[in-house]
Structure 1
Amino acid sequence: MHYRQVRHIYSVMSSYTSKGKKSAYKRKQMRRLIQIIDDILSHEPISQIHSIGRRQMIGYWQRHEHESHKTRMEKYHILVKFFAANSLTVNVTVPKPRRFDNKT
């Protein structure tokens, strides 16, 4: 991912990172957000952040079914915050990840 896209992510999420206590969890969530968007841009045939939509999110959740439900929900929450704060992506609804119980 280009460094300008990373700077765009940080500028969009400045309200999230500037409010309240500077916790390690917020830093972890920002790293996750960048990793998620980088994964989507590398696996999907798009090159811009504003082109990310519901279909790309579903593809991301399908590629990462091996993660625990808790991790997937934490990623879901940071994605919801990012797309709510981003004015370039209008009407993007982040689909909730499905819960897969691997009990055999």
Structure 2
Amino acid sequence: MHPQTLIVYSTKGKKSAYKKKQMKRLIAIIDDIFKHEPISSLESIGKRQIIGYWKRHENESVKTRREKYSILVHFFRVSNPQVTVPEPKP
């Protein structure tokens, strides 16, 4: 992940604890995708890999999945706007 990609998101502020939590989630999501999907670079992550992630984590609460969806949308909007992040099914 490029350090500058989410510099705007990770700035200090009132909700910095939540932002830190979201950044940890994003890194965990990306690590999980690399662990389970046959891809070799961050640019290779697309809709199919994200759907695979949602299927592997169907047991999570709706709230957690919405928060993860939020950080994924923000990340791909900044780093690779061509990727559309599918919403997790409840």
Match status 1:96 vs 2:71: no
Counterpart selection for 1:60 from 47, 50, 53: 53
- Cα distance in 1 between the residues matched to 2:42 and 2:12: 24
- Cα distance in 1 between the residues matched to 2:9 and 2:55: 27
Residue type at the aligned position of 2:62: H
Residue 71 of structure 1 and its aligned partner are, at CA, apart by 0.2
Contact kept? 2:73, 2:85, Cα under 8 Å: yes
Q: TM-score, normalising length from structure 1?
A: 0.81
- Cα distance in 2 between the residues matched to 1:20 and 1:47: 34
Q: Deviations over 1:47-67 (max 9, x none)?
A: 211100000000000000010
RMSD: 1.3
Q: Which has the higher contact order (CA 8 A, sep 6+)?
A: 2
How many correspondences in the alignment?
A: 90
Match status 1:70 vs 2:86: no
Q: TM-score, normalising length from structure 2?
A: 0.93
- Cα distance in 2 between the residues matched to 1:90 and 1:81: 10
- Cα distance in 1 between the residues matched to 2:81 and 2:39: 17
Counterpart selection for 2:44 from 17, 30, 51: 51
Superposition misfits of 4+ residues, deviation over 2 angstroms: 19-22
Q: Which runs of 5+ in 1 are unaligned?
A: 100-104
Match of 2:8 in 1: 15
What's the secondary structure of 1:12's corresponding residue? coil
Q: Which runs of 5+ in 2 are unaligned?
A: none
Residue 15 of structure 1 and its aligned partner are, at CA, apart by 0.7
